[in-house]
Amino acid sequence: MKKVKISGRVGLLGLAIGLLTGLSVATVPGDAGAWEPKKPVEFIIMAGKGGGADKAVRYMQNIIAKHKLSSKPFTPINKPGGTGAEALIYVKGAKDPDHTIMFTLNSFYTTPLRQPKIKVDISKFTPIGRMAEDTFLLWVHKDSGITNVKQFVKAAKAKGNAWIMAGTGKNSEDNLLTDFLNKAYGLNMKYVPYKGGGRVAKELAGKNANSTVNNPSEQLGFYQAGKTVPIAAFTPARLPLFADAPTFKELGKDFVYFMQRTVVGAPGMSKEAATYYRQLFAQIYGSDEWQGYMTKKSLQGGFITGDILMRYWLREKAVHKVMLQKMGALK
Amino acid sequence: MDILPLLLNGFAIAFEPLNLALIIGGCAIGLFIGAMPGLGSVNGVAILLPMTFLVPPTGAIIFLGAIYYGAMYGGAISSIMLGIPGASTAVATTFDGRPMAIKGEADKALIAAATASFVGGSVGVVLFTLFAPPLADVALTFGAPEIFALMLMAFATFIGLGTDDIPKTIFSIFIGLVFGAVGLDIISGEPRLIFGDIPGFYHGINFLVLAIGIYGIGEMLWTIEISKGNAMMSKATISVPRILNTLVELTRTWRTMLMGSFLGYFVGILPAAGATPGSLMAYGVAKTFAKDPETYGKGNIKGVVAPEAANNAASTGAMLPMLTLGIPGSPTTAILLGGMVIWGLEPGPMVFTDHPDFVWGFIASLYVANLFALLINIAFIPAFIAVLKMPFTILAPIIFVLCIVGGFVPTLDMHDVWLMLIFGIVGYFMRKLDYPMAPAVLAIVLGPLAEPALRQSLLISGGSFAIFFTRPYAGVIMAIAIALFVLPLIKIALDKYRRPKDG
């Protein structure tokens, strides 16, 4: 790979050589008999463009292309409708399950629970690999002068229903965390849904919202520019990137919440195809790029796959069922 | 931060042999991708993204930026030549570009589009150079109430767009709004108007499906009917004196060009808006303030100039939130963002200070790309004219295939192709019954942007409409919107008052 990069700098001739080298690498045949994609793979994203999930998929797509891990391209397709319902329905009914994979969030559990009408049973999906667990923090604008949860609670109480918490879609992860905060601290914040975490982060930075519960990757730019600041983390231990933000556990509220960033295969995917994708995503997980990405974006969690991943899903689904029942979203 | 040395340094980077080659190649590729119906800058950038690992990051973004630019120029070509929008951003160009081509003025329309694109792009990139940080702050403070006010303004500019038949215009707007409401609603999380349980409707009705259906298929059916099988398309010619005449005529449209450029740029920098609403609004404003609004839609050169200036300015504008906020202003910039992440660049408020070479090299390359896109475009006009001279019996099947591909590619869903064919047939009947199409197209673009913004605003305010008037930006835009609604009514009243005198 290095050689290709350098030759590209030399000029057009170098570019042509680089292209040729690239082609020859791409045409090296794989193991005889092993399954490989026969056409472009649809990589469905359960969220809108520009959010954390979207960036992660495009990043993985680029790792695949850069290291030529697949002979066929991976095409990211955003299906953000209805907090992931659109994506779930699409993948459930995929006409070509061997070439349809999806990048999921926690709406993978919550949306089927909340919308039984869409008839999605997540245990029918094919577990490929959990790439990371994303973390959540509570963010406020720097100009608000709020630096800790105590001040936050005081300010939010004073404003009551006029305190705006921006989030991604009704009954999404952000909504769950908002409800937790409202209950735990006796607040009455108003939840306003927007399309995608990137948009939510912008609403806080532009002072159109009072607080958000964004993932680190979504707020990082505004944080570095000194516009927004995290005041607490929904993690078991403090995040290295935001060492000044205490965990809710430290503050006496035992609440830990992660968002899975997992690759799921369509129901009915063949065994051979599942094995191929598992190996592929294990390779991506192990790449320097992905590891660097995880550090930079403050992502956590190891790679899990197969039955272990399925058990993880079912456990998380049960946890979310209880949470949704508590907040009154489920009967 | 002194801009001039940074910009000059940027030009030095843009003129490096590799980068210059990438600009020229990118413009040419973009032009052709943009000219294909349905295929726009999004597809071009997405397809060629993996290629960019062969060059350094600055070269990569320069290449993709050039494709983006070229595609914006190219979008006008099929709008004018075939009457099918080459990309969603070029829909407004069909309104007058197509009638011009039918009148035998295809060369004039193409030159007008290229020139206006150049002016729009240039204004956009100059504004970008001079005012990027303050404009980013404006974009940041734009919340839901401001976006709704802006969308209302866009609707207001289109009041007079239809024919004189107001009930038919209103019907057309409403049908567009209803189509725009189809799909899953983000605020309640519930599906709407999905016709029982058809999964294809969950992602809503793609605007390109409607536009290609109505303008591509519908137009073709219409042409078949009126030509009764006679091989006719249009008498297109091109010659040097004609080009010169056109350029002279274009100098008289400078006001429209600048209006389109500024409006397009401003709409472009707002996250979530992008070039399509920008170009539609520019067309609406041009018509509203024209002395001869009745000639719009019948081949007025200003009707080509306004949207083309706007969509190029807007595409530059959309780069602003991408670079400075890390938020895409359009679908294409969303893909560029993904690319930047893997090149090891973190777009966001820090990118100007952390990576000055990258940012300024890119900005300078936009100046260069703009010029080359213009030259390449003009050089190919004779070739495009030759296509128009093909007999309709050959052209019609080609258009049909291009329409099908264009309907399928954005979502890769056959559902959309069937839908597009249905819209084509409906469009044919609407045209036969003299319903205006443009308001329906406008409504399906703006409806899905306006509706969530309205509901978010009212959620924030607790149901009070005062929120649209008490915030500074929203208040000003609302006032303009209301003025635009009232203006045509006053005009009609004045006309009625004057008419008896003339008679």
What is the predicted pLDDT for the residue at A28? Answer: 40
Three-class DSSP category at A127: strand
Q: Which of the four pLDDT bands, split at 50, 70 and 90, describes residue B235?
A: low
Look at A43 and B204; give whichever has higher pLDDT: A43
Specify the DSSP class assigned to residue B93.
H
Rg (CA), chain B: 22
Q: Which of the four pLDDT bands, split at 50, 70 and 90, describes residue A33?
A: low
Identify all chain A residues contacting B206, using CB atoms and an 8 Å cutoff: none
- Of the listed ranges A6-10, A288-292, B2-6, B288-292, the least confidently predicted one is A6-10
Average pLDDT over residues A19-31: 41
8 Å CB contact of A83 and B189: yes
Quote the domain boundaries for residue B377. 3-502
Q: How far is CA B421 from CA A28, B416, B434, in A?
A: 43, 9, 20
ipTM above threshold 0.85: no
Phi and psi (nearest 5°) for A227? Answer: -95, -40
8 Å CB contact of A66 and B339: no
Q: Which residue has the tokens 């532009």?
A: A206
Structure tokens at B90: 């070029």
Identify all chain B residues contacting A61, using CB atoms and an 8 Å cutoff: 338
Average pLDDT over residues B397-401: 84
- Closest among B160, B162, B120 to B256, alpha carbons compared: B120
Specify the DSSP class assigned to residue B53.
G
What is the predicted pLDDT for the residue at B124? Answer: 92
User: Nearest Cβ partner of B272 from A19, A54, A199?
Assistant: A199
Average pLDDT over residues A38-50: 83
Q: Outline where B289-410 has alpha helix (H).
A: 301-325, 331-342, 351-354, 356-388, 392-408
Which distant-in-sequence residues (6+ apart) come within 8 Å of A306 by Cβ? A127, A278
**Strand partners of residue A102:** A44, A264
Look at B121 and A49; give whichever has higher pLDDT: B121
Domain membership flag for residue A28: no
Q: Which of the four pLDDT bands, split at 50, 70 and 90, describes residue B121?
A: very high
User: Nearest Cβ partner of A22 from B54, B140, B331?
Assistant: B54
Interface probe, candidates A203, A289, A293, A294, chain B, greatest B C-beta count within 10 A: A203
Q: How far is CA A74 from CA A23, A85, B189, B249, B274, in A?
A: 17, 22, 28, 48, 26
Identify all chain A residues contacting B140, using CB atoms and an 8 Å cutoff: 202, 205-206
B251/A6 Cα distance (integer angstroms): 47
User: Nearest Cβ partner of A205 from B17, B140, B341?
Assistant: B140
For residues A141 and A238, state if they share a domain.
yes
A85/B190 Cα distance (integer angstroms): 9
A249/A260 Cα distance (integer angstroms): 20
Identify all chain A residues contacting B64, using CB atoms and an 8 Å cutoff: none
Percent of chain B having pLDDT more than 90? 23
Searching chain A, which residue's CA lies closest to the CA of residue B201? A86
Q: Which of the four pLDDT bands, split at 50, 70 and 90, describes residue A125?
A: very high
Distance from CA of A193 to the nearest CA of B (A): 6
Q: Residue A42 is inside which H or E element, if any? A: strand A41-45
Q: Is the pLDDT of residue B125 over 60?
A: yes
8 Å CB contact of A202 and B271: yes
- Closest among B407, B347, B345, B340 to B43, alpha carbons compared: B407
CATH (domain of A49): 3.40.190.150
Quote the domain boundaries for residue A122. 37-134+258-326
8 Å CB contact of B338 and A58: yes
Torsion sign (Cα): A49, A52, A53, A55: positive
**Tally of domains in chain B:** 1
For residues A180 and A84, state if they share a domain.
no
8 Å CB contact of B337 and A85: no
User: Among residues 94-133 of chain B, which lie with CB inside 8 Å of chain A?
Assistant: none
Domain membership flag for residue A15: no
Which of A216, A242, A268 is the last residue in one of the domains?
A242
8 Å CB contact of B342 and A8: no
Which distant-in-sequence residues (6+ apart) come within 8 Å of B32 by Cβ? B70, B74
8 Å CB contact of A79 and B202: yes
Helices (runs of H) and strands (runs of E) counted in chain A: 12, 10
User: Among residues 16-35 of chain B, which lie with CB inside 8 Å of chain A?
Assistant: 17-18, 21
Which of A183, A209, A242 is the last residue in one of the domains?
A242
For residues A180 and A275, state if they share a domain.
no
Residues B141-182 pLDDT 10s: 888 999 899 888 888 877 666 556 778 888 888 888 999 888
For residues A165 and A205, state if they share a domain.
yes
Searching chain B, which residue's CA lies closest to the CA of residue A208? B143
- Closest among B477, B398, B412 to B154, alpha carbons compared: B477
A183/A27 Cα distance (integer angstroms): 58
**Tally of domains in chain A:** 2
For residues A270 and A185, state if they share a domain.
no
User: Among residues 164-223 of chain B, which lie with CB inside 8 Å of chain A?
Assistant: 183-191, 199, 202-204
CATH (domain of A154): 3.40.190.10
Domain membership flag for residue A221: yes
For residues A159 and A66, state if they share a domain.
no
Q: Is the pLDDT of residue A210 over 70?
A: yes
Interface probe, candidates B186, B190, B345, B409, chain A, greatest A C-beta count within 10 A: B186
Identify all chain A residues contacting B471, using CB atoms and an 8 Å cutoff: none
**Could you tell me if A221 and B326 are in contact, meaning their C-beta atoms sit under 8 angstroms apart?**
yes
Distance from CA of B462 to the nearest CA of A (A): 8
B459/A190 Cα distance (integer angstroms): 8
Distance from CA of A198 to the nearest CA of B (A): 6
Distance from CA of B116 to the nearest CA of A (A): 30
B47/B45 Cα distance (integer angstroms): 6
B95/B85 Cα distance (integer angstroms): 10
Specify the DSSP class assigned to residue A272.
H
- Closest among A245, A242, A304 to A278, alpha carbons compared: A304
Q: Which of the four pLDDT bands, split at 50, 70 and 90, describes residue B229?
A: low
What is the predicted pLDDT for the residue at A148? Answer: 95
Domain membership flag for residue A63: yes
For residues A112 and A144, state if they share a domain.
no
Q: Is the pLDDT of residue B382 over 90?
A: no
Contacts across the A-B interface (CB distance below 8 Å): 175
Give all strands of the β-sheet with A74-78 in edge-to-edge order. Answer: A74-78, A41-45, A100-104, A259-265, A126-134
Residue B499 burial class via C-beta count within 10 angstroms: exposed 0-12, middle 13-18, buried 19 and up: exposed
Residues B74-95 pLDDT 10s: 888 888 888 887 777 888 898 8
**Is beta strand A41-45 parallel, antiparallel or unpaired with respect to A74-78?**
parallel
For residues A153 and A233, state if they share a domain.
yes
Searching chain B, which residue's CA lies closest to the CA of residue A289? B342
What is the predicted pLDDT for the residue at B236? Answer: 66
A9/B272 Cα distance (integer angstroms): 36
What is the predicted pLDDT for the residue at B233? Answer: 53
**Strand partners of residue A129:** A263
For residues A228 and A264, state if they share a domain.
no
Residue type, A153: V
What is the predicted pLDDT for the residue at A20? Answer: 40
Searching chain A, which residue's CA lies closest to the CA of residue B341? A59
For residues A42 and A57, state if they share a domain.
yes
Cα dihedral value A40, A41, A46, A47, nearest 10: -40
For residues A152 and A86, state if they share a domain.
no
Torsion sign (Cα): B89, B95, B96, B102: positive
- Angle at CA of residue A179, ends A85 and A294, nearest 5°: 65
A290/A58 Cα distance (integer angstroms): 12
* B353 interfacial to chain A (CB closer than 8 Å): no
Torsion sign (Cα): B115, B117, B123, B125: negative
Q: Is the pLDDT of residue B501 over 60?
A: no
Average pLDDT over residues A244-260: 92
Q: How many CB atoms lie within 10 A of CB B503?
A: 5
For residues A272 and A229, state if they share a domain.
no
CA A53 to chain centre: 4
8 Å CB contact of B191 and A82: yes
Residues B305-328 pLDDT 10s: 999 999 999 988 888 888 887 777
Which of A183, A207, A242 is the last residue in one of the domains?
A242
Identify all chain B residues contacting A83, using CB atoms and an 8 Å cutoff: 186, 189
Look at B457 and B358; give whichever has higher pLDDT: B457
Three-class DSSP category at A72: coil
Look at A8 and A277; give whichever has higher pLDDT: A277
